[in-house]
Amino acid sequence: MKGSSRVLPGFRLSLGLGVLYLSLIVLLPATTLVMQAAQIRWSELIFYFTDPRLLAAIRVTFFAATCAAMCNALLGLLLAWILARYEFPGRKLADTLVDLPFALPTAVAGLTLSALFAKNGWIGQLLAPLGVEISFSIAGIILAMTFTSLPFVVRSLQPVIEDLAPEYEEAAECLGANRLQIFLRIILPTLMPALSMGTALALVRSLGEFGAVIFIAGNRPFSTEVVSLMIYTYIGEYAYGAAAAVAFFLLLVSLLILLFVQLLQFRFRARANP
Amino acid sequence: MRQTRSPLRRPTAAGWLLIGSGLFFVVTLLVLPLVLIVSSAFSAGWALFTKNLLEPDMLAAIRLTLWVALLTVPINLIFGTAIAWCVTRFDFPGKKILLAFVDTPYAISPVVAGLCYLLLYGNQGWLGGWLDQHGIQVMFAWPGIVLVTIFVTSPYVARELIPLMQAQGSQEEEAAVLLGANAWTLFRRITLPNIQWALLYGTVLTTARAVGEFGSVAVVSGSIRGHTNTLPLQVQLLQQDYNSVGAFTASLLLACIALLTLLLKTVLEYRQQKTLS
């Protein structure tokens, strides 16, 4: 594994190709955005970020993405648990279907969910008498975000649950712990690193989600507009300065969330092996 | 170290309750949408379905989408494999940074990705002016769509290969070098057979994402009907035209690709595990 001797061929070639590719495809475009954002004057920045319509969109996006990430943490825990633990008819099929949100184009997901949960839709008409409206409201945004990032938590938890050694649970049971205590004190702490990682990925994905959300949100200014749609609107109006500023803000928040979770992983690891 | 996988259990009463609620969400969130797509696409009968499918704009969208995927996939395959080879077989300074750049597209919203490319290649962009003088149009034309699609799907092949190649180690390859194999023989006879199924799955995943990319393509394509409209953009266009059946017809094509992806994933993962053991 250690390549100090570099017995294997192709180091220069593969490194060269990799660096060239990443520079052209990732680094150059990302740098362009950062440079564009760096040229914005403070006065302009204040002007952009005091626009009540943008502030409302930021509020809606962060609220919905946080709710979606929470839903995903719970639903992902449930799905990963039953898929990794129990034998039941349809397990294989359910396991395969969990990846559907990654395979299905977001536009298709948005269109279909909005039809399904509209007032006259298959599920929407069951909810309408209860006064619950999903399509064209913030609940719809949360639903779309939950759908598109569903696999993150399930797929990061599943291998950890499969690897859980049964001895600890058995020991706790012998010592008289009840099921809830076993779950909260033994199982959940073991799952925390993977759970927090999956939830953070889901949160980042939800913050930037565009395709699925715009089909179901209704996109009314001040109430159901998301940040990515605001960027899209700015681009359509050739307001590249505003678009770059908001895009840079979104990118920064996403990177900070990922950084925070990485640091959290170190904490978990330190606690596991002191 | 990885412990042995704890065996699946027969569910208890509480277990059945969990399974029931889990399956409830699987059915409402994952199965019902698929059923709805099929039933909506055919809601006005076969005749309208085929008519929608054979619309010139729809055919143009299908052609463009396939063209974009055809260009994107080989490029990502070659460079993704190169990246996986260099980070799993060698140690070098800056490896962590390289890997961070591989993952960057995951953290970037599709619309932001589109904007990055627009700022670079657009009319007022850094390269845009030069390209314009030489009569090359990248934005609002297919080259721009291909570029953002490459960006969005760039992590998949490398991310699929890296954990596998790390787990396999390089002993077999080192043995081949000592026995005098040249680089190409080494790759073709040792590495490729070991990673072929994962590589194939990386291809499938890249294809699926390339075909379905919406946000970034919406920014750079200009959505010119019959010219720069990909299939996912066609879904939106038809929906805005209140042609719901048409939108679901395009959706059905995309959903079929998604289902095929899931099927191939299951098969390929099974084959990869057999190769490993």
* Residue B3, in any domain of the structure: no
If you write DSSP's letter for every residue of B212-272 in order, what string do you get? H--HHHHHHHTT-TTTT--HHHHHHHHHHTT-HHHHHHHHHHHHHHHHHHHHHHHHHHHHH
Is residue B133 in a domain?
yes
In this structure, the answer to whether residues B100 and B231 fall within a common structural domain is yes
pLDDT at B222: 81
Residues B27 and B113 reside in one and the same domain:
no
What's residue B5's pLDDT? 59
Q: Name the percent of chain A lying above pLDDT 90.
A: 80
In this structure, the answer to whether residues B207 and B177 fall within a common structural domain is yes
pLDDT per position as a tens digit, A219-236: 999 999 999 999 999 999
User: Residue A274: what pLDDT?
Assistant: 61
Q: Is B108 inside a domain boundary?
A: yes
Distance of CA A57 to the CA centre of its chain: 18
Q: With contacts defined as CB-CB under 8 Å, which chain B residues touch A113? A: 33
Angle subtended by helix axes A188-208 and B95-107, to nearest 10? 60
Which member of B19, B40, B87 has the closest CB to residue A86? B19
For residue B2, the model assigns a pLDDT of: 41
Same domain, B216 and B259: yes
Two structure tokens written together for B64: 């463009």
Q: Which residues of A touch B100 (CB under 8 A)?
A: none
What is the distance in angstroms between the Cα of A87 and the nearest Cα belonging to chain B?
A: 6
Both B54 and B100 in one domain: the answer is yes
What pLDDT, on a 0 to 100 scale, did the predictor assign at position A4?
46
Beta bridge partners of A86: B9
Q: Which residues of A touch B79 (CB under 8 A)?
A: 17-18, 21
Q: How far is A24 from chain B (nearest CA, A)?
A: 10
Least confident of A60-74, A97-111, A181-195: A181-195
Same domain (yes/no): B25, B102 = no
Do residues B86 and A8 make contact, with C-beta atoms less than 8 angstroms apart? no
- Tell me the chain B residues in contact with residue A244 when contact means C-beta distances shorter than 8 Å: 115, 119
pLDDT bucket at A106, cuts 50 / 70 / 90: very high
The answer to whether residues B105 and B176 belong to one domain is yes
Pair B110, A208: CB distance under 8 Å: yes
Q: Other CB atoms closer than 10 Å to residue A86's CB: what's the count?
A: 18
Test the A interface: residue of B37, B108, B154 with most A CBs within 10 Å: B108
Domain contains B191: yes
- CA distance linking residue A138 with residue A145, whole number of Å: 11
B247 touches chain A (CB under 8 A): yes
Greater model confidence, A245 or B276: A245
Give the closest of B15, B22, B105 to A26, CB-based: B105
Q: Tell me which H or E stretch contains B185.
A: helix B183-186
Number of domains, chain B: 2
**CB-based contact B36 A112, cutoff 8 Å:** yes
**pLDDT surpassing 80 at residue A196:** yes
pLDDT tens for each residue of chain B, 277 residues long: 344 556 788 888 888 999 999 999 999 999 999 999 999 999 989 999 999 999 999 999 999 999 999 999 999 999 999 999 999 999 999 999 999 999 999 999 999 999 999 999 988 887 888 888 888 888 899 999 999 999 999 999 999 999 999 988 888 899 999 998 888 999 999 999 999 999 999 999 999 999 999 999 999 998 777 788 999 999 999 999 999 999 999 999 999 999 999 999 999 988 888 887 7
Report the mean per-residue pLDDT for chain A: 92
B177 vs A8, A99, A231: nearest CB: A8
Res B1: pLDDT: 35
Q: What confidence tens digit (pLDDT) does each residue in A126-139 have?
A: 999 998 889 999 99
Residue B206 shares a structural domain with residue B142: yes
Residue reference for tokens 């490729």: B192
Residue B227 lies in a domain: yes
**Chain B residue whose CA is closest to A107:** B232
Residue A5 — pLDDT band, cuts 50, 70, 90? low
Residue written as token pair 């007022």? B124
Task: Please tell me the distance from the alpha carbon of residue B155 to that of residue A111, in angstroms, as a whole number.
Answer: 27
pLDDT at residue A2, as a whole number: 45
- DSSP character string of A11-56: HHHHHHHHHHHHIIIIIHHHHHHHHHHHTS-HHHHHHHTT-HHHHH
Which domain, by its residues, includes B148?
A: 45-276
Asked whether the CA dihedral A261, A262, A267, A271 is positive or negative, the reply is positive
The answer to whether A163 contacts B120, with C-beta atoms less than 8 Å apart, is no
Q: Torsion angle of alpha carbons A136, A139, A145, A147, nearest 10°?
A: -100
Q: Show the DSSP H helices in chain A as ranges.
A: 11-22, 28-38, 42-48, 52-85, 91-97, 100-103, 106-117, 124-127, 138-148, 150-163, 166-174, 179-181, 188-208, 211-217, 227-236, 240-272
pLDDT at A179: 83
Mutate which of B19, B92, B111 to test chain A, going by most A C-beta atoms within 10 A? B111
Contact A14 B82 (CB under 8 A): yes
Of A263, A244, A229, nearest to A45 by C-alpha is: A244
Cβ proximity of B222 and B140 under 8 Å:
yes
Torsion of CA B71, B76, B78, B82, to 10 degrees: 160
CATH of the domain at B53: 1.10.3720.10
